[in-house]
Amino acid sequence: MQTANSQIGHERVAQFDGFFVGFWGTWVLHLGSELGFFRALQEAALPVWELAERLGFEQDYVGVWCRAANAYEILDQDAEGRYSLASGVAEALEAGGPWAGALVQVSNRVCETLEAVFRGTAPPESRFSLHQQMAQVVRSSYQDLLLHQLPRIPEVQSVLTAGGRLLEFGCGCGHGLEILRRVHPLVEPTGLEADYECAREAERSTRAVIVVGTAEDCRYESRFDVALFHRSLSYCESPEQALGRAVAALKPGGFLVVTLPDDFPTTEADLRTDRGRARMGERLFYGMFLAPDPRYNPTRGQVAEWLKGLAVEEVGQLGPEHVRNFTLVYRRCAS
């Protein structure tokens, strides 16, 4: 019995070691982005002393970071001791790099109020705080949608390029509308946001029309060429009603675009995969810090079911390109 227990203990220690490896890897990524190491090494391969001199940092600390990043196979080192980004790292940083910084920053905030949160004495932080803390991640997610996913649907792309009208439900602080205007400068954006503080910031940063209200209470009729839910359907009191109002806001032939995180694990086996564990960790984390906690985690199947009774036809489903988003595209029927 002692031998069996010892073996299990060793296996658990190895499991914990894996957790710690991921934790420190997150910090290596965060430091590389935050302190400008990645940016400098994208421009040229550099030895430690020159990297430290360029950025004005202590050589010893820069050296430790370079060796750590090399151990994580984020950096390569040549025969002359110069470091450079490993193959594919630049592309991966563009797509997923912001997550490291967001996780570090929000984790620090969680630790400040951890006990109070679990005792129920700490009020949940605002939706505005959520969007500001996760701004870089949110922008990365929108870039994936606008630069990689939607171009695969030519009909939607042509509407945006030509300057169609777009309504975003749950636009937050306007990070997505900012990127939309850069990518499609002719588009006419309108945002709908339930949180007044977020709506005010979105109006300030985008100069777009921002309406304070919920998707369920939207009263637009046959006005827009594109209606967008970008990971915001989870926060609706009634997702089915919200989708109905979005379809009503579209002109005949207009497009409904719904972006969802990948489906939440529904079985114990799914939960024990790396992705399942990550999703459960996110839920715990968001429940501690971010407010409001998502009311639902709608799946692609549920969205399709809710839309069955509406006058729409499916145009396409876009799987993840760089960020773990699924995007569903429907067209409002002309009749």
CATH at residue 189: 3.40.50.150
Does residue 128 contact residue 198 with C-beta atoms inside 8 Å? yes
| 190, 324: one domain | yes
| 29, 172: one domain | no
Closest C-alpha to 161, from 145, 178, 188, 184: 184
| 64, 201: one domain | no
Instruction: Find the range with the poorest average confidence among 48-62, 68-82, 90-104, 135-149.
Output: 90-104
User: Where does 173-249 show beta strands of DSSP type E?
Assistant: 188-193, 209-212, 224-230
Distance in Å from the first CA to the final CA of the chain: 72
In tens, the pLDDT along 146-204 reads 998 999 999 999 999 999 999 999 999 999 999 999 999 999 999 999 999 999 999 99
DSSP one-letter code for 217: G
| 220, 150: one domain | yes
pLDDT bin (cut points 50, 70, 90) of residue 3 is: low
Residue 281 lies in a domain: no
| 323, 234: one domain | yes
Residue 94 lies in a domain: no
Q: What is the mean pLDDT of residues 46-55?
A: 97
Residue 129 lies in a domain: no
| 71, 166: one domain | no
Residue 165 lies in a domain: yes
Residue with tokens 């009909």: 155
List Cβ neighbours of 25 (8 Å cut-off, separation of 6 or more): 72
| 85, 144: one domain | no
Q: Which domain holds residue 56?
A: 2-89
**Residues pairing with 192 in the sheet:** 169, 211
User: Where does the chain show beta strands of DSSP type E?
Assistant: 75-77, 83-85, 165-169, 188-193, 209-212, 224-230, 250-261, 312-318, 325-332
pLDDT bin (cut points 50, 70, 90) of residue 293 is: very low
Helices and strands per DSSP (H, E), number in the chain: 15, 9
Specify the pTM: 0.76
| 35, 149: one domain | no
Residue 96 lies in a domain: no
Residue 95 lies in a domain: no
| 160, 232: one domain | yes
In tens, the pLDDT along 67-84 reads 999 999 999 999 999 999
